[in-house]
Amino acid sequence: MSPHDDHDPDAEAGAEAGAVAGRPDHSEGPGIPVVPAAAGLLAPAGDAYDWFRRGSALLEQGNSAAAAELLAWAVAAEPEAASIREAYARALFDARRFVDAEREFRALVSLAPDDDYARFGLGMALWRLRQFPEAAEHLAMAAVMRPDRPEYGSALKQVRATLAARAEAGLDPVGSPDEGFPSAEGLA
């Protein structure tokens, strides 16, 4: 069951009872959310390092959804390992799971506030979620931390241009998910 599926009473019961044998604990750790990982399934073969290594390889091969599923187990086993959480956040972003990516990049920023890539990733996820003002804040921090990374400055310029266009159009600086783009019929 994915995090986007409807309510799962079995997963909720397992979380209330604590960790169930063969699957990660679904409770939140001290300030760092533990990722729900494949509720109801037995853990894949190996340990956290194996899951991280195999998940990273899948991510590099362009298999972001498969990487996210495997890396979720690694994050659940090692929630404070920044390298594992970064790979997981990247996989979620590449799989277009922006709400989940935002949560994981935010957790990464909590673990390592001086990590420029964590700020960049959080800004990019927030941008995709139409949270333009907060996206601009994190992208600006990343750009200041690493002015040698042109993609940071480019993303910041685009978000700031979006904010300016929204202000000029009289729109709220934070977009809403139901704010659609014109359909093909509307353009004809």
Is the model more confident about 34 or about 134?
134
Task: Kindly state the percentage of the chain with pLDDT values over 70.
Answer: 73
Among 3-12, 107-116, 134-143, the range scoring the smallest mean pLDDT is: 3-12
pLDDT(148) > 50: yes
Amino acid identity at 112: A
Global confidence as pTM: 0.75
Position 181 scores a pLDDT of 55
Say how far apart CA 85 and CA 97 lie, in whole Å. 15
Closest CA to 105 of 76, 65, 135, 77: 135
d(CA 106, CA 179): 24
pLDDT of res. 40: 61
* First vs last C-alpha separation in the chain: 41
Mean pLDDT of the region 93-104: 96
Q: What is the pLDDT of residue 41?
A: 66
pLDDT band for position 46 (cuts 50, 70, 90):
confident
Question: 153 versus 34: which is more confidently predicted?
Answer: 153
Tell me: the pLDDT tens digits for 69-92?
999 999 999 999 999 999 999 999
Contact indicator for 15, 26 with CB cutoff of 8 Å: yes
- Please say whether the beta carbons of 146 and 152 come within 8 A: yes
The pLDDT value recorded for residue 185 is 53
Please give the average per-residue pLDDT across 85-107, as a whole number.
96
Amino acid identity, residue 26? H
